[in-house]
């Protein structure tokens, strides 16, 4: 099971939206997903169609008592095909006080102990955190190996994030617990120059820490939450579904090495291609090697070279001939640096890659 905490002390930056919709997209690909709602506001619970006030027991019952971990499986509610939720409730805000007398080591590792029991039952556990860095968030960080920091594409949001990254680093050093942290630009409105500039600044500030995927502003995400469904189940062709689908693919491709090993992989070669542009925000690659789904199974890096940005795409391919195109800010293009191409089925040219 890969355990990912979705963390940012800033309110309203898209933590819950990311947790719920990433869960929906991973589940749509067949993964078994557990959503752990660590926010007393219970927004993730609600956005998955579960009424927090009507469940008998919630995470408080698991985390507040020594023997609570045994109740963990009992509190899970099935929200959708392949998605279960460990519900929250307002009572969770009393946890800090309840555990005040305990050693900090013991009270911050309760969620980790509970999740360890479900390791075989789920492929993913996504933990939605409250907008503060208190006991609940510490529990999430100790339980997780990976962290997603949703970052609203606005100038002021960048400032708070440095402090958060410092806190996470400090905590993981103190605990001797490695955390892989990645930043996810959210609430992006590409029509405004301000947002485009801020996104460029986020990328140049955080470099490889930043996902290639950007979550655009999309009102359907709000509607889906109101209907208690992840967006893939509500409006699967909306931008929100496309973006969270891309995030699911990118995250799955960034799996730690031991999770990626699979039969037949030995015959594959690592193939690296690059796309350079001055004015592009989002570059993905699609070809017959990934069923023409942009960036599916592809590891991406973005760097700056003077005024240009360079997208490096790392593919794992068996020997053979492949057709591909780039998707640059949503537009399909041939590889300008590759002279080899063939006619595609709809009249335009596909670039050609030969792996020997």
Ligand X SMILES: Nc1ncnc2c1ncn2[C@@H]1O[C@H](COP(=O)(O)OP(=O)(O)OP(=O)(O)O)[C@@H](O)[C@H]1O
Binding site for ligand X (CB under 6 A): 11-17, 39, 41, 43, 131, 186-187, 215, 217-219, 221-222, 225
- Using CB under 5 A as the binding rule, whether residue 309 contacts Mg ion is answered as no
Q: Choose from Mg ion, ligand X, none: what does 13 bind? Cβ within 5-8 Å by kind.
A: ligand X
Inter-residue contact 207 to 310 (CB < 8 Å): no
Please, which residue, 15 or 299, has the CB nearer to Mg ion?
Answer: 15
Task: For the CB of residue 172, give the shortest distance to Mg ion in the complex, in Å.
Answer: 23
Name the minimum Å distance from CB 131 to ligand X: 3
> Judged by CB, which is closer to ligand X: 147, or 187?
187
Q: What is the DSSP letter of 69?
A: G
Contact 244, 215 (CB under 8 A): yes
182 binds, among ligand X, Mg ion, none (CB under 5 to 8 A by kind): none
- For the packed helices 135-143 and 155-175, what is the interaxial angle rounded to 10 degrees? 70
Q: How far is the CB of 93 from Mg ion (least distance, A)?
A: 14
Judge whether 75 and 59 are in contact, CB under 8 Å.
yes
Q: Among residues 8, 9, 13, 15, which is the contact residue for Mg ion, using CB under 5 A?
A: 15
Which C-beta is closer to ligand X: that of 29 or that of 223? 223
* Closer of 44 and 286 to Mg ion (Cβ): 44
Give me the helices (H) in the chain, please. Answer: 15-28, 43-47, 59-63, 72-75, 95-98, 104-107, 110-116, 135-143, 155-175, 193-206, 219-226, 239-253, 257-260
Compare residues 53 and 102 and give the one whose CB is closer to Mg ion. Answer: 53
From Mg ion, ligand X, none, interface partner of 187 (C-beta below 5 to 8 A by class): ligand X
Segment interacting with Mg ion, rule: CB under 5 A, options 11-19, 108-116, 228-236, 301-309: 11-19
- The distance of closest approach from Cβ of residue 318 to ligand X in the complex, given in angstroms and rounded to an integer, is 37
**Which tokens go with 65?**
């008592």
Q: Which is nearer to ligand X, 36 or 221 (CB)?
A: 221
| Stretch of 14-22, 29-37, 263-271, 307-315 lying at the interface with Mg ion (CB under 5 A) | 14-22
Query: Scanning residues 33 to 92, which ones bind Mg ion (CB under 5 A)?
Result: 43
Applying CB under 5 A, among 3, 16, 88, 323 the residue interacting with Mg ion is 16
User: Is-contact 240 223, C-beta < 8 A?
Assistant: no
d(CA 307, CA 328): 17
Q: Min. distance of Cβ 104 from ligand X in angstroms?
A: 24
Give the 3-state secondary structure of residue 36. strand
Task: Name which of 147, 142, 75, 68 is nearest 112 in CA terms.
Answer: 142
Q: What gap in Å lies between CA 337 and CA 331, rounded to an integer?
A: 17
In the complex, minimum distance from the CB of residue 167 to Mg ion, in angstroms, rounded to a whole number: 18
The tokens for 240 are 């929100």
Instruction: Specify the residue, 3 or 218, whose C-beta has the smaller distance to ligand X.
Output: 218
How many angstroms from the chain centroid is the CA of residue 214?
11
Beta 33-37 vs 124-128: how paired, if at all? parallel
- Cα–Cα dist 156/342, whole Å: 47
Residue 178 CB, shortest distance to ligand X, in Å, is: 25
Q: Tell me how far, at minimum, the Cβ of 154 lies from ligand X, in Å.
A: 13
Residues that bind Mg ion (CB under 5 A): 15-16, 43
């Amino acid at each position: 099971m890969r355990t990912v905490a979705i963390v940012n002390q800033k309110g309203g930056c898209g933590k819950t939206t990311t947790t719920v919709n990433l869960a929906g997209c991973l589940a749509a690909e067949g993964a078994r997903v557990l959503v752990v709602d660590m926010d007393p506001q219970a927004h993730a619970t609600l956005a998955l169609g579960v009424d927090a006030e009507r469940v008998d027991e919630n995470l408080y019952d698991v985390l507040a008592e020594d023997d609570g971990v045994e109740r963990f499986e009992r509190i899970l509610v099935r929200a959708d095909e392949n998605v279960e939720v460990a519900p929250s409730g307002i009572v969770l805000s009393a946890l800090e006080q309840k555990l005040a007398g305990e050693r900090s080591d013991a009270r911050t590792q309760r969620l980790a102990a509970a999740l360890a029991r479900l390791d075989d039952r789920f492929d993913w556990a996504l933990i939605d955190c409250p907008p503060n860095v208190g006991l609940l968030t510490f529990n999430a960080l100790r339980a997780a190996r990976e962290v997603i920091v949703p970052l609203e594409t606005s100038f002021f949001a960048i400032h708070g994030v440095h402090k958060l990254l410092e806190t996470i680093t400090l905590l993981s050093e103190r605990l001797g617990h490695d955390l892989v942290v990645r930043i996810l630009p959210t609430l992006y409105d590409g029509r405004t120059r301000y947002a485009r500039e801020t996104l460029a600044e986020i990328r140049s500030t955080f470099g490889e820490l930043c996902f290639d995927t950007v979550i655009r502003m999309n009102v359907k995400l709000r509607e889906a939450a109101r209907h208690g469904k992840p967006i893939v189940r509500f409006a699967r062709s909306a931008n929100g579904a496309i973006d969270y689908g891309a995030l699911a693919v990118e995250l799955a491709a960034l799996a730690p090495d031991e999770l990626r090993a699979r039969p037949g992989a030995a015959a594959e070669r690592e193939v690296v291609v690059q796309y350079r542009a001055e004015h592009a925000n989002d570059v993905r690659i699609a070809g017959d090697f990934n069923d023409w789904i942009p960036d599916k199974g592809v590891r991406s890096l973005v760097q700056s070279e003077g005024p240009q940005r360079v997208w490096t795409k790392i593919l794992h391919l068996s020997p053979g001939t492949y057709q591909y195109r780039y998707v640059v800010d949503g537009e399909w293009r041939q590889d300008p640096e590759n002279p080899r191409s063939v006619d595609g089925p709809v009249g335009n040219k596909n670039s050609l890659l030969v792996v020997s």
